[in-house]
Amino acid sequence: MTLERANVGRQLRLLPEAETQTPQGEYSLLFDDQHRTTSNSASSQPSPVEVFEDEVLGELLWSPAVALDPKHRPQTWDRPAGTVRRSWCKYPQEAHLVDVAAGRYRRLTVDEIALIQGFEPSWFEVPGVSTRSRIKAIGDAVPPPLARAILQSIDKLWSWNHRTAVEICAGSGGLASGACEVQGMEHLGLIEMWEPACQILRHSKPWPADWVACIDARAYDFASLRGQVGLLSGGPPCQPWSLAGHHKGVFDPRDLLAYIHEIVGVVEPEVFLFENVPGLASEQNRDYLQAVIERLRCPTTSNVGYSVMAAILNAADFGVPQVRRRVFLLGVRDAPASLAYRVFDRVYARATHRDPTHAHPHRQPWVTLRDVLGSRPDPGGWRRWLDSSLVAGNRP
Ligand SMILES: C[S@@+](CC[C@H](N)C(=O)[O-])C[C@H]1O[C@@H](n2cnc3c(N)ncnc32)[C@H](O)[C@@H]1O
């Protein structure tokens, strides 16, 4: 479902997704120079747009046309959110909540975005990290309930020689938080090159702050960890879309996902788990993904082999109030191929929620935004609700 403005008046109605041509990609800034000029110059007239101030995010200007444009997919109360993205640090309407029945809307707060991603907001309450950086870090993260379901499923089927974990491209630690749910598992290191994420990782987290290395993973000395690591996990970025063809460019070391087998080959973890965007599993990128998997099965610098399996999981199925599909690549060292399959079977069996349009005897419908945000106090400030008269530009 998505939001559309009705032909006349201020009524909002919901359209089935299939009736819209909403792009899946990132959103650009919603405020152009024309809107700014109109607002700033019309000092004696009621402005058709509302002006908000925030010391970090800056001025927020809305025109009714932008506010109600269905293609921007704002969030609605009675569904889970769409996928949270790091671009929510800018101004997409996607980062807004529309109360269709009341004809009002407002921007989501950082705390609310954290809740939508399955975190306690306090995870991101880190002195010195800007609002923008917090939203970026939240948008990148694996929701902890999903991370927990995967890691606990691995734990049920694998006997660890070492209950130790190393996280690469750790972001703000969503996936790493799952390893902490495995009994006795301790992190040996969390490697991340973006300073604000490192600040978040070091602030009151379940691992020692000293274990966070703010460094490019390609410069890290993984050889020192060889043979000591139970779990190697992380969210290495990839650029399959920017790589035309499947020849020289695919294993460019700047593309960390394609380079990851070298790290696996050096560290030789018992298990690895890597997360990526669902587009990696699309028809267009199938050859790329297949090549990554083949390299992970037999890392060149190592004599060990891995049973590898990729699966797409949706965080909403695990009680997170957000439809967020992600690809997970799981490898288990010197294990039969069936083990990785069985792990994902077990993860799926742990799903607690379902798409409300699908029947399932033991699962609840997906958690909605009303379920998690409805009872919270009104945020006030410039994130306060705008009512329908403002939305329609008819402010008295
Ligand atoms: C998708 S996010 C990971 C999110 C993380 N799995 C979580 O759950 O919070 C990818 C992270 O990789 C980091 N990154 C990208 N290239 C890197 C590199 N070469 N070395 C270290 N970190 C890198 C980015 O800064 C970003 O924070």
C-alpha of residue 146 to centroid of ligand 1, in Å? 18
Nearest alpha carbon, ligand 1 atom 14: 169
C-alpha of residue 274 to centroid of ligand 1, in Å? 11
pLDDT tens readout for residues 240-272: 655 444 444 455 666 899 889 999 999 999 999
pLDDT tens readout for residues 37-59: 223 233 333 333 333 334 344 44
Give the H/E segment covering residue 124: none
pTM of the full predicted structure?
0.84
According to the model, what pLDDT value does residue 32 have?
Answer: 22
**Contact by Cβ (8 Å): 331, 308:** yes
Place of tokens 């602030």: 203
Q: How far is CA 41 from the centre of its chain?
A: 39
Q: What is the mean pLDDT of the chain?
A: 80
The answer, yes or no, to whether residue 175 has pLDDT greater than 50, is: yes
Take residue 198 and report the two structure tokens written for it. 């490192």
C-alpha of residue 167 to centroid of ligand 1, in Å? 10
According to the model, what pLDDT value does residue 389 have?
Answer: 55
Domains plus CATH for the chain?
A: 64-138+367-391 (no CATH), 141-354 (3.40.50.150)
According to the model, what pLDDT value does residue 250 have?
Answer: 57
Q: What are the two backbone dihedrals, phi and then psi, of residue 240, each rounded to the nearest 5 degrees?
A: -60, -30
According to the model, what pLDDT value does residue 68 have?
Answer: 60
Q: Kindly list the catalytic residues.
A: 238
Closest ligand 1 atom to 147 CA: 8
The answer, yes or no, to whether residue 217 has pLDDT greater than 80, is: yes
Question: Which residues does ligand 1 sit against, CB inside 6 Å?
Answer: 140-142, 169-175, 191-194, 197, 216-218, 234-235, 237, 256, 275
Please state which of the ranges 50-54, 107-111, 296-300 shows the lowest mean pLDDT. Answer: 50-54
Closest ligand 1 atom to 191 CA: 21
Cα–Cα dist 164/270, whole Å: 10
